Structure formats: structure tokens, C-alpha cells
Structure 1
Amino acid sequence: MQGIDLKEWLHKFDNVYDSVKNTVHNIRNHPFLAEVGIPVHGLVIDPQTGKLELVVNGYQAAEAEA
């Protein structure tokens, strides 16, 4: 079984922040989760430093929709 070529997969993004926002949107609006209201956070990790950056705060997004 072959794994995912991470470098190739990562190069498909024009903007990692937009990609994270889009992914969070897709997860939050999935039929299994949309009605439950589970907070979904989006983060970016710097591969050099390991630092995490919060892009989407799922708690704030849930409050904004309430």
C-alpha cells in the first residue's frame, strides 16, 4: 500500500490559510455534523518550527451563527 506524497499534496494549495478555512467550512457543513454544532477549529503548523497558528476558532464561529 502506498502512502500520500505529502510534499506533492501540500504544493496543490495556493494559499494554506484559504485551504484551511475551506476545509473547516466543508467539515462544519457536512450532513453528519451540521446539525450537531460541534466546534471545528482550523490550524496551520509551521514545518520548520512546529508552531501552531489558529486560523479558524471553532468556538467563535459557532457563537457567530447562534
Structure 2
Amino acid sequence: MKTMRVRPVSGRMVPDPDRGDVLPEGGRVVPKSQWWMRRLGDGDVVEVPERAMSQAPVANKKGAD
């Protein structure tokens, strides 16, 4: 099954029917199903490119040579 990474738009609480909880603000990988495609179409969530999620800032370690 194909997947995609989505996150809720600001101020929205979006249920995740597969996990039985609410989609976290940071988003998660979900199946590319009718449920999630509908949430995208309704503007409840946005799709997040995988590379954007993997580009987390790296902490600066002082004195690490």
C-alpha cells in the first residue's frame, strides 16, 4: 500500500481512524487511502514531503572537534 506523510493544518484536530487517536502536530506517515485523500481535499491536513521531515536542524555542539 502506498503511504504519504501528512500533518494537520494549524488549529485542527484530525482523527486517525487506523490508530484510534488524533494526528500529532508534527504529522505522521499514513496510508494513501480515501480517508486521507478526503482530509487533504477538505483542507484539514497538508502533505509533507519526506525530505522536509528529514531535514531537522542539527544541534551545535560547542567544543566538539
If asked which structure has higher relative contact order (CA below 8 Å, sep 6+), I would say 2
Tell me the TM-score normalised to structure 2 length. 0.23
Instruction: Identify the structure with the greater strand proportion.
Output: 2
Tell me the TM-score normalised to structure 1 length. 0.23
When Rg is computed on C-alpha atoms for both structures, the one with the higher figure is 2
Instruction: Identify the structure with the greater helix proportion.
Output: 1
